[in-house]
């Protein structure tokens, strides 16, 4: 059962039960939807950009504990970040969740997001962890769009 505890750590369960920034944003300058048709996870990411930085970010949607906690932790991690910093974090997060379970990954730079390292033992849940991130990237790239976990990988 220790692998399950690696996946469903306290932090993740907490962010699932009490997701941060879980609200719609009326004055969002950017938004995008993410959808995993295989399991029904849906997330909408709202972003308000100002001066090239993420002034506010929030999300709405329904989904599994992993997708919700990931969206919640992501929004916490991104407040005040520049677009370049968001991109860098996205790459690091993706690299971590898609790496082999025993691979050496720099977890320090990920801060709290490192709790998702456990997802590597559960390949079928990687898409849950990265859904919010893909939606966020789509939000920053264009205005309104729906990202699916089943479309061509970017």
Partner 1 sequence: MSSTAQAPPSLDISRIREEFPILHQQVHGKPLVYLDNANTSQKPRLVLDALKKYYEFENANIHRATHVLSERSTQAYEGARERVRKFVNARESAEIILTTGCTDGLNLVAQSYARPRLKPGDEILVSWMEHHSNIVPWQLVCEQTGAVLKVVPITDSGELMLDEFDRLLGDRTKIVAIVHVSNALGTINPIETIIAKAHARGVPVLVDGAQAVPHLPVDVQALDCDFYAFSSHKMYGPTGSGALYGKRALLDAMPPYRGGGDMISSVTFEKTTYNTLPYKFEAGTPNIAGVVGFGAAVEYLGGFDMRAIAAHEHDLLEHATRGISEIPGVTVVGTAPKKAGVLSFIMDDIHPHDIGTVLDRDGVAIRTGQHCAQPIMDRFGVPATARASFAIYNTHDEIDTFLRAVRRVREMFA
The window from 36-44, 45-53, 86-94, 133-141 that contacts partner 1 (CB under 8 A) reads 36-44
- Residue 25 Cα to chain centre, angstroms: 17
First to last CA, the chain: 34
Site string for partner 1, 104-133 (x = CB under 8 A): ------------------x-xx--x-----
- Largest Cα span, the chain: 47
Q: How many Å apart are CA 117 and CA 115, to the nearest integer?
A: 5
Per CB under 8 A, 81 contacts partner 1:
no
A 10 A CB-CB count for 39 gives: 16
Residue from the set 38, 83, 88, 146 that interacts with partner 1 by CB under 8 A: 38
Rule CB under 8 A: which residues touch partner 1?
Answer: 1, 3-4, 7-8, 13, 16-17, 37-42, 62-67, 122, 124-125, 128
């Amino acid at each position: 059962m220790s692998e399950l505890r690696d996946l469903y750590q306290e932090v993740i369960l907490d962010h699932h039960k009490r997701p941060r920034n879980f609200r719609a944003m009326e004055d969002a300058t950017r938004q995008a939807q993410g959808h995993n048709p295989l399991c029904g996870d849906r997330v909408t990411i709202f972003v308000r950009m100002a001066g090239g930085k993420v002034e506010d970010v929030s999300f709405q949607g329904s989904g599994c504990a992993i997708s919700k906690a990931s969206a919640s932790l992501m929004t916490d991690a991104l407040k005040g970040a520049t677009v370049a910093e968001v991109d860098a974090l996205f790459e690091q997060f993706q690299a971590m969740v898609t790496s082999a379970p025993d691979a050496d990954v720099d977890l320090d730079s990920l801060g709290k997001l490192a709790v998702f390292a456990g997802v590597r033992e559960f390949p079928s849940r990687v898409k849950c962890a990265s859904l919010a991130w893909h939606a966020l990237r789509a939000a920053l790239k264009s205005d309104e769009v729906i990202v699916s976990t089943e479309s061509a990988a970017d």
